[in-house]
Structure 1
């Protein structure tokens, strides 16, 4: 199963939520998710079993973030276009996406995933350097993936049907 498609379903991302997620504030604050979740898991060192509270709050933020901001008035920006590109990519079984985009996106996802063992090790061992390197690794490749989504969107904005209806020409 496609992990991105699964995540979209788990997040209950309908058209309205996608419109709101295209708000640059939603996209940029989304980058806070991994550090907040890391900090929440790390908090077991300070507050023991009560660390479940910041973990649950962090998980709530993951779900709430794309719903928290209003739909943007202007979508002519990197963050909004990245969101539109992600929708196209998620619909790649039904869209005729050029192969060079598919290959690079999969490579970036794999490279991002390679940082997870470092991050998990850092959390398990409470190794701050491993945790910071793991977070940095994952977030750099996630940002690069979003940038690739912008490129995908720009290449396909006139050829497919999954765009946000509020998107500006």
Structure 2
């Protein structure tokens, strides 16, 4: 599962600069629009036929652009910023992260799959209630995953670990 996370990071082209911008709480909050927008874009095949590929492509573009869309935050102390920085720590220092964090992160990654299947089935059969339920079932573990990343960040910083992409002064300024 962790290699899946690293693969997604490479696919998204996440440089230090992009990670810093993605740590903006607005970037984190608007990231949660991706799944509902994707569902709506796929559903639009009912009205648009093959032209629905245009909104699907736009959602994929939004998925890529979202981490780049906002300015770097003034402070990295918010929950959303710490979630993003915790994910960076998770990706860069997996071998050093306590096993209990890794188990829960893996479990939460897998826990999103049933919701994605329900959403996919709803989109296939055009059952709106299944689509909405699937989105919720997918988003809840993702939100919990973000909270786990905050916990990883906070534990890491308390232990004196360096946060990838931040200077020691920035970490000290935002110390929790």
Q: Where do 5+ consecutive residues of structure 1 fail to align? A: none
Per the TM alignment, residue 150 of structure 1 is displaced from its structure 2 partner at its CA by 0.4
Q: What residue is the counterpart of 1:102 in the other structure?
A: 102
Per the TM alignment, residue 115 of structure 1 is displaced from its structure 2 partner at its CA by 1.2
1:135 aligned counterpart, secondary structure: helix
Per the TM alignment, residue 112 of structure 1 is displaced from its structure 2 partner at its CA by 1.1
Higher share in helix: 2
CA RMSD of aligned residues (A): 1.3
Per the TM alignment, residue 163 of structure 1 is displaced from its structure 2 partner at its CA by 3.2
* CA offset digits 1:37-91 (Å, max 9, x no partner): 1100000001111101100000000000000001000111100000011111112
The list of structure 1 runs, each at least 4 consecutive aligned residues, that deviate by more than 6 angstroms after superposition, is none
- Quick check: 1:147 aligned with 2:147? yes
CA distance in 2, matches of 1:153, 1:19: 15
CA distance in 2, matches of 1:159, 1:8: 25
Q: Where do 5+ consecutive residues of structure 2 fail to align? A: none
What is the TM-score of this pair, normalised by structure 1?
0.95
The answer on whether the counterparts of 2:42 and 2:56 sit within 8 Å (CA) in structure 1 is: yes
- Quick check: 1:116 aligned with 2:113? no
